[in-house]
Amino acid sequence: MIALVTGASSGIGRDIARSLAMHGINVIITARRRDRLAELKKELVEKYGVKVMTIAADLTDERQCFELYKRVKKYNIDILINNAGFGVFGKFSDTDLESELDMLDVNIRAFHILFKLFLRDFKARGCGYILNTASAAGFLPGPYFSSYYASKAYIVRMTQAVAEELRSEHSGVHVSMLCPGPVATEFEEKARVHFAIPAASSPKLAEKAVRGMFGGELMICSDPINKASIYAAKLIPDSLLALGARISQSSRKPY
Ligand SMILES: NC(=O)c1ccc[n+]([C@@H]2O[C@H](COP(=O)([O-])OP(=O)(O)OC[C@H]3O[C@@H](n4cnc5c(N)ncnc54)[C@H](OP(=O)(O)O)[C@@H]3O)[C@@H](O)[C@H]2O)c1
């Protein structure tokens, strides 16, 4: 089997690439930082003896999303880990518009392009796995993190809807979404803000994500509290969720 992992230069994507390699799956790893990809390639080849290809690509650029797809198509990818993403923290009226548009290009546009192109190929073949990295944030309004939370809601709703289409077709293609709360990665540093609550372990989450994906789970969480909070949020009015989220976000300290 062979997997394409986006956002593989650090954090959750890098750990998912490690978990896949540990299960004997060859990987194509992509992100912007070539040095990080080269380091990971060396580690995975030496430790697990799998085949690893690195492709440097900036997913804010739509053309590079299509080029990435074209370059890997010939390898008949079995698994897409659609994971690259980042957050821009701050009051919506104050955050930098260009940074936010870049974020939307990666978190929504690149996610969408890769989801569709690989889904089409997988459906034509009748099998395949797609794991989209969403977030528990996708189930909440997120004051001071508004566009990031909204971008994750897009991934949640897209994944749920496509999963239902596939279910109704009795398809052999499986889609899952990873919905953790805070995870210890470079996310905080890039968003320039600390988490308000303790973060989950990225390697543990990655292994859970890989097992959940192969087990056909639609929503994969980091732990029972993470899962319970997503279900509990469905019982609370949005205005109260927004208030609670604002209070929690206000307690975050700058990075
Ligand atoms: N950490 C959390 O608390 C948490 C919780 C829920 C969901 N998530 C989601 O998990 C995913 C991975 O984030 P992480 O926590 O692992 O953070 P991370 O350590 O910062 O990793 C982000 C990855 O995305 C890549 N990326 C960012 N911008 C990119 C671009 N323009 N083009 C290509 N790749 C790009 C980065 O690679 P380069 O910089 O090398 O390009 C990096 O590999 C994201 O979708 C995030 O929203 C994170």
Q: Is the pLDDT of residue 67 over 80?
A: yes
Task: Give me the percent of the chain exceeding a pLDDT of 70.
Answer: 100
pLDDT at position 195: 87
pLDDT at position 197: 85
Per-residue pLDDT band at 62 (split at 50, 70, 90): very high
The residue-averaged pLDDT of 161-174 equals 98
Rounded to the nearest whole angstrom, what is the distance from the C-alpha of residue 6 to the centroid of ligand 1? 9
pLDDT at position 251: 81
Q: Is the pLDDT of residue 244 over 80?
A: yes
pLDDT at position 183: 97
Q: What angle in degrees, to the nearest 10, is found between the helix axes of 202-214 and 11-22? A: 60
- As beta bridge partners, residue 30 has 6, 55
**Using an 8 Å Cβ cutoff, are 207 and 164 in contact?**
no
Rounded to the nearest whole angstrom, what is the distance from the C-alpha of residue 225 to the centroid of ligand 1? 23
Q: Print the domain residue range for 244.
A: 2-250
Between β-strands 128-133 and 173-178, what pairing exists: parallel, antiparallel or unpaired? parallel
Q: Within 10 Å of residue 87's Cβ, how many Cβ atoms?
A: 23
148 in active site: yes
Tokens found for residue 135: 């977030």
| 255 in any annotated domain | no
Residues lining ligand 1, CB < 6 A? 7-13, 31-33, 36, 57-60, 83-86, 106, 133, 135, 180, 182-183, 185-187, 190
**Using an 8 Å Cβ cutoff, are 50 and 26 in contact?**
yes
Q: How many whole angstroms separate alpha carbon 62 and alpha carbon 65? A: 5
Tokens found for residue 11: 């954090």
- Considering just the CA atoms, what is the radius of gyration of the chain in Å? 17
| 230 in any annotated domain | yes
* Chain segment 183-226, per-residue pLDDT in tens: 999 999 999 888 888 899 999 999 999 999 999 999 999 999 99
CATH of the domain at 164: 3.40.50.720
Q: How many domains does the chain have?
A: 1
- Average model confidence (pLDDT) across the chain: 97
CA distances from residue 44 to 41, 103, 214, 225 in whole angstroms, order as listed: 5, 29, 21, 32
pLDDT at position 148: 98
| Single pTM value for the model | 0.97
| 110 in any annotated domain | yes
Return the minimum-mean-pLDDT range out of 46-55, 162-171, 192-201: 192-201
Q: How many whole angstroms separate alpha carbon 110 and alpha carbon 58? A: 10
Cβ burial, residue 208 (10 Å; 0-12/13-18/19+): buried
**Using an 8 Å Cβ cutoff, are 209 and 218 in contact?**
no
pLDDT at position 250: 86
Cβ burial, residue 175 (10 Å; 0-12/13-18/19+): buried
pLDDT at position 43: 98
Rounded to the nearest whole angstrom, what is the distance from the C-alpha of residue 12 to the centroid of ligand 1? 7
Tokens 């019982």 map to which residue?
A: 235
